[in-house]
Structure 1
Amino acid sequence: MTTHLVIGAGPVGQAVVEHLHSRGEHIVVVTRHDDVSLPDGVEHRRANVSDPDAAADAFDGADVVYQCAQPPYDRWPELFPPMTRAIIAGVEAADARLVVAENLYMYGPVDVRLTEDLPYAARDPKGKARAECAELVFDAHEAGRIEATIGRASDFFGPGVRESVVGEMVFSAAAQGKRARVLGDPALPHTYTYVPDFGRALVLLGERDDALGEAWHVPNPETVSTRRFVYLVYDAAGIFPDYPRIISASGWLLSVGGIVSDELEELAEISYIYENPYVVDDSKFTRAFGDAMTATPLEEAIETTLDWYREHGIPAAPIEIPTGEEGESA
C-alpha cells in the first residue's frame, strides 16, 4: 500500500488528509507539535522538518510527500528557503515523490491572466521567497535528486480556513450578521480557491507521472468580483439584501495601518493582488486532468463553508482595517 505523508495540519494539509482518508489510504502526518486533530487511523509524527536529518527520519517509508506547511507569515524570507532545502533532502533520503502546495506570490504584480508560464517577477520579500523555493524544488527534480511537482492556488476559502482574506472577515461576519471586510477594490474580479479542491488536486498531481517537473494552477470555481463573492456569501446566509455595506481597505490604508499593526503591514506588501484584476487561468490542469477532477461550483463551495462557520461559531476577525474607504453594497 502507498504511504502518503503530509507535512502540516493546516487547512491545506487537512484537505489532503481528508481526501486520502475518504479513499482508505495509509496516511502519515508530520507536524512540529502534538496538538493536532486527525481522523482515526492516521499516524502522527512529530518533527521539525527544517532540520534535514529530522526530515529524513520523519519521512522514512513515505512514497509521496505533500509539502503543505509554512513558517510564520512574517518570517517567510528568512525561514522558507532553508525549510524547503531540508524537505528536499528528506524526500531524497526517503526516495519519495514530492508534491508542493504553493500560492501565486512569485509572479508579482501582473496585468494579465495568471498562467504557469509567467516569469517570477515578484519584488516583495514574500514573493521572492516563494520564487526561490519553487526554483529549489525544480532544480532538485531536474538534477534527478527527487521527483517533484507543484500545485498553485489563489486565496483560500473553505471549511477550516480562518486566516484568509475571505475567512473570518467575510464568512464569519456573514454568519453573525456583521459587516464584511475586504481588501482592495471589491468591484475587481478575483479568483478564490476552494481548499477541498486544492487538496484533491494535490493528490491527483502526486499520482500522475505526466505532472512531474511542472507547476500547475489547480482548478478553481468560476471567477467573480469580490463584491459578487460577498453577495453570494450573504445570500447563502439568508440576510441579503439587508446587511451592512462592505468595508474595504486599499494598499495605502494598509500601509498606514501597519504603523500600529504588524498584521496589516504584512498584508500591505502584497496589496497589489487586491488592487488589480486577479484572474487565475487553470486551463492547463483542466486540459491534462479534467477527466479526473473539476472544481466545485462556487455557490456549493460557499454554502459548505458557511455551514462550517455556523457549526463552529467562529467569531468575526478581530483585525481592524482602517476605514478610509467604504464600498457599495454587493
Structure 2
Amino acid sequence: MGKHVVVGSGQVGTHLARKLLQQGHEVTVVTRSGSGPDGARKVAADVADRERLTEVTRGADVLYNCVNPQYHRWLTDWPPMAASFLAAAEATGAVLAILGNLYPYGPVSAPITEDLPLASTSPKAQVRARMWTDALAAHEAGRIRVTEVRGSDYYGPGASDQSYLGDRFLVPLRAGRPVMLPWPADMPHSWTYLPDVAEALIVAGSDERAWGRAWHVPTAEPLTFREIGERMAALLGCPPPRLVTLPWPVVRAAGLFSSMLGELRHVRYQFVAPYVLDSSAFQRTFGVVPTTIEQGLKATLDG
C-alpha cells in the first residue's frame, strides 16, 4: 500500500481520504484547521507555505490538491497555493493529482471534451487555467508528474451547502414545499457524483497513463432540475416538487448582499443552455463507468 497526502477536507477531499483508507493506504490530510476523517494522520498547515507542504509530502506517492478557496477569493488565494503544490511535487517526486473544474472552458455549444481550448475570459477561470498550464509545463520539462480531473456540478452524500442539489434543494423537496431555483428548471445539465470524483482522482494519481493530461470524471447522462426532482420524489414516495425559477434581476439584486449569489453571474451560461460533460475518454482508457443517476440520487437522499 502507498502513502497519500490529501490537501483539503471538503466535499471531495473527505470522500477521497476515506476511499484511500478503505483501500489500506497510509493517508495524511492537510487542512488549515487540522481536520480530517478518522484513521488519517491530520496535519494543520497553511497550504501556501511551500516548505511546510514539502515536509508533509516527503515519501508520498501522490499529492492531491483538493483545496477549494471561496470563489470570490480565487484571484488572491490560488496563485500562492498553486506554486506551493508545484514546489512540493518537484521536491518530493510525488505525483500531483489536481482537482480541477470546467470553468476554464468558458461557454460551449457542444458536449465538453478535454481537447477544448481553455478559452474563458473570466479572470477567475483564467486563474484555474493558468494553474493547469503551469503544472503541465513543469511536467513536460520533466520536473514533476501531474494530472488533473474535472467534473461538472457535484451531488451526492456529503455535498456542500453550495451544491445546487444539496440542502437548498432537498429540504423543501422533503417537506413538500416549492423548491426555489436561480436557474431554469428544464435545461439539461451534467451532474457529477462525489464518490466518482474521488475514485477518478485515485485512478489518475496511480496510473501513469493519466499523467501529463487532464481528464473528465465519469459522469452519467445529463438531467434537468425538474427530472431530478421527479426522480427524487419517486424515491421518497411523494409528489413531484413544484419548482420556482427566480427572475434573474432578483438574483442579481440579492447578489449585492451575498458574495455567493453575487458570483452566480460568472456561471450563468452553464444553466441557461444545455451543459453536457463528455467523460468517454476516461471511461474508455481506464474502464471506469459513472455511478447511475438512480444509485447516486438514492445515496444522496439516504446520506
Secondary structure in 2 aligned to 1:276? Answer: coil
Partner of 1:316: none
Distance in 2 separating the partners of 1:250 and 1:50: 40
Partner of 2:297: 302
> Counterparts in 2 of 1:132-143, with a 5 A limit?
132-143=130-141
How far 1:252 sits from its partner (Å)? 4.3
How far 1:174 sits from its partner (Å)? 2.2
How far 1:211 sits from its partner (Å)? 0.6
Secondary structure in 2 aligned to 1:190? Answer: coil
Partner of 2:254: 257
Identity %: 36
Distance in 2 separating the partners of 1:216 and 1:249: 34
How far 1:189 sits from its partner (Å)? 0.7
How far 1:192 sits from its partner (Å)? 0.3
Q: Gapped runs of 5+ residues in structure 2?
A: none
Normalised by the size of structure 2, how large is the TM-score?
A: 0.95
Letter in 2 for 1:140: A
Partner of 2:221: 222
Deviation sequence 1:285-318 (CA, Å, 0-9, x none)? 111012xx2111101110111111xxxxxxxxxx
More deviation, 250-259/49-58? 250-259
Normalised by the size of structure 1, how large is the TM-score?
A: 0.87
Partner of 2:203: 204
Matched, 1:100 2:95: no
Distance in 2 separating the partners of 1:175 and 1:37: 30
TM-align CA RMSD:
1.5
Secondary structure in 1 aligned to 2:204? Answer: helix
> CA separation of 1:207/1:251 partners in 2, compared to 1, >3 Å: closer, same or farther?
farther
Deviation sequence 1:189-227 (CA, Å, 0-9, x none)? 100000001101110111111111010001012212222
How far 1:275 sits from its partner (Å)? 0.9
Letter in 1 for 2:169: V
Aligned length: 302
Matched, 1:29 2:58: no
Partner of 2:268: 271
Matched, 1:284 2:244: no
Q: Is the 8 A contact 1:191 1:279 kept in 2?
A: yes
Distance in 1 separating the partners of 2:133 and 2:250: 33
Distance in 1 separating the partners of 2:108 and 2:96: 28
Q: Is the 8 A contact 1:201 1:219 kept in 2?
A: yes
Secondary structure in 1 aligned to 2:253? Answer: helix
Secondary structure in 1 aligned to 2:99? Answer: strand
Runs of 4 or more, structure 1, over 4 Å off, are none
Q: Gapped runs of 5+ residues in structure 1?
A: 309-330
Secondary structure in 1 aligned to 2:30? Answer: strand
Letter in 2 for 1:62: A
Distance in 1 separating the partners of 2:251 and 2:225: 18
> Counterparts in 2 of 1:98-177, with a 5 A limit?
98-162=96-160, 163-177=162-176
Distance in 2 separating the partners of 1:250 and 1:26: 49
> CA separation of 1:250/1:143 partners in 2, compared to 1, >3 Å: closer, same or farther?
farther
